[in-house]
Amino acid sequence: MHRTLRFVAAVLALTLLPFAAARAQLTIEIVGGAGTAIPISIVPFGGESVFPLGISGIVAADLARSGMFRLIGSDNVNPRPVRADDVKSDVWRARGADAVVVGSMQPLPDGRVDVRVALVDVVKSSTLTTMNYTVKPAQFRATAHKIADVIYEKLTGDPGVFSTRIAYITKSGPRYQLLVADADGSDPQTIVTSNEPLLSPRWSPDGTRIAYVSLEAKKPVVYVQNLATGSRQAVANFRGSNSSPAWSPDGRRLAVTLTKDGGSQLYVMNADGGNAQRVMSSSAIDTEAYFTPDGQSILFTSDRGGSPQIYRLTLGSGAVERLTFDGSYNVSARPYPDGKGFVFVRRDGGRFQIATQDFATRQVQVLTSGPGDESPSLAPNGKLILYANEVGGRGILAAVSSDGRVKQRLIGTGSDVREPAWGPYAR
């Protein structure tokens, strides 16, 4: 099943025409879906056609892209239902749908629009939820993502991530950019532009700041940048290399890799700079720190055993435990939000693949085939993993569900895309 959703580009052409040309737009292609996708019909909303940018189309695209849903057409259903009471379950069940979304959009005198949406279970003939938003047309896209989040959670049991944002790095000729976009790739905003490499973007837990590494000073320096104001601060600029920032769950501290005292070693410092404390001493490489969700321990990569492997440091006791044993290269661990396991990069022969491991059972599941998969980043619901992969010498972003069944490619235009970071839930 190869379905390319070009709607994003089309919508952008309408809404962001003056800016679109200068930005690397990502288009999402679904390359494999869940076997148990829920059949759902998203009926165009009553009154929607008077607006150049509607809502139901974005909701449908969000749900389809997740791989958890299969869209059922609503053509030739007359009269078109706009309220839950209008939905005739037998009609939709005959079409193969288990759920139907209907809605209406009513302009108000102040220019805002009254948006009413209902989600109907046509198997049980019951209304699962209704939503009501009063929004300006400029908020339609954000509203659509919120509606998709509610539908996703009602039908799958997991929170949706359609309202979240992602960050990533592009390289175009000699120019590097750090961009932030909606989770569907739309509305990319340039946060940093540099003629020297940028890497390791990391969202603060509240989504207001991004830590990253820039080589603009002819060495790696860690910066923290405020997204609202654009102001930034070099928080780790010590002698030697400063790299691999990771936020503590409370957003007050950063784990970083510093070489100021010799070797690549792990430190924890204040997120606004200063008070860098070494958390462990070794004569080996220690890097790629990532806090576990409880903030009590740090996953990291070390070559102390002769090859790069993933370890866990318990901050209170200083105890260190090796977690990976299979293969000679296991790196870039990121813990799942539920704290039960982690996703990482493994090398199998010459292929770099995304895999996941359970803390308790140590069971490893390989999710991708490589050959050049790296920089995994988990969605805040833990259900999707965004990662970088190289195809023909050019980097693209891809996503895989944490059970390995749903795969997506996010294809940019004209530039090398790498280092994705999935942001937190919108607040």
Partner 1 sequence: MKNILFAAMALMVLAGCSTTPTEAPVEDKSAMATPATTPSTGASTTGTNTAGVSGATGSGTDPRKDPSNILYKRSVYFDFDSFVVDPQYKSIIEAHAKYLVANPAAKVTLQGHADERGSREYNIALGQKRADAVKRMMTLLGVRETIVETVSFGEEKSKNPGHDEAAWAENRRVDIVYVGE
Q: Which residues of the shown chain bind partner 1 in the complex (CB under 8 A)? A: 174, 195-197, 199-200, 213, 215-216, 218-220, 239-241, 243-244, 257, 259, 262-264, 285-288, 301, 307-308, 329, 331-332, 345, 347, 350, 352, 372, 374-375, 393, 418-419
**In this complex, which beta carbon is closest to partner 1, that of residue 165 or of residue 418?**
418
The least CB distance from residue 239 to partner 1, in Å, is 6
**In this complex, which beta carbon is closest to partner 1, that of residue 69 or of residue 203?**
203
The least CB distance from residue 295 to partner 1, in Å, is 21
* Closest by Cα among 64, 43, 212 to 117: 43
The least CB distance from residue 231 to partner 1, in Å, is 23
The least CB distance from residue 427 to partner 1, in Å, is 28
**In this complex, which beta carbon is closest to partner 1, that of residue 143 or of residue 241?**
241
**In this complex, which beta carbon is closest to partner 1, that of residue 112 or of residue 394?**
394
* Closest by Cα among 424, 3, 416, 420 to 175: 416
**In this complex, which beta carbon is closest to partner 1, that of residue 140 or of residue 300?**
300
The least CB distance from residue 274 to partner 1, in Å, is 21
Beta 99-107 vs 38-42: how paired, if at all? parallel
Asked whether the beta carbons of 338 and 382 are under 8 A apart, the reply is yes
Map residue 412 onto helix, strand or coil.
Answer: coil
- CA dist., res. 419 & res. 204, Å (int): 16
Q: CA torsion angle for 72, 78, 79, 80 (degrees, to 10)?
A: 20
Burial class of residue 49, CB neighbours in 10 A (0-12, 13-18, 19+): exposed
**In this complex, which beta carbon is closest to partner 1, that of residue 105 or of residue 367?**
367
Cα separations in angstroms, 17 against 22, 242, 257: 10, 39, 41
The least CB distance from residue 247 to partner 1, in Å, is 15
Amino acid at the residue 297: S
**In this complex, which beta carbon is closest to partner 1, that of residue 62 or of residue 374?**
374
The least CB distance from residue 331 to partner 1, in Å, is 4
* Closest by Cα among 299, 269, 276 to 286: 299
- CA dist., res. 160 & res. 153, Å (int): 6
Largest Cα–Cα distance of the chain, in whole Å? 74
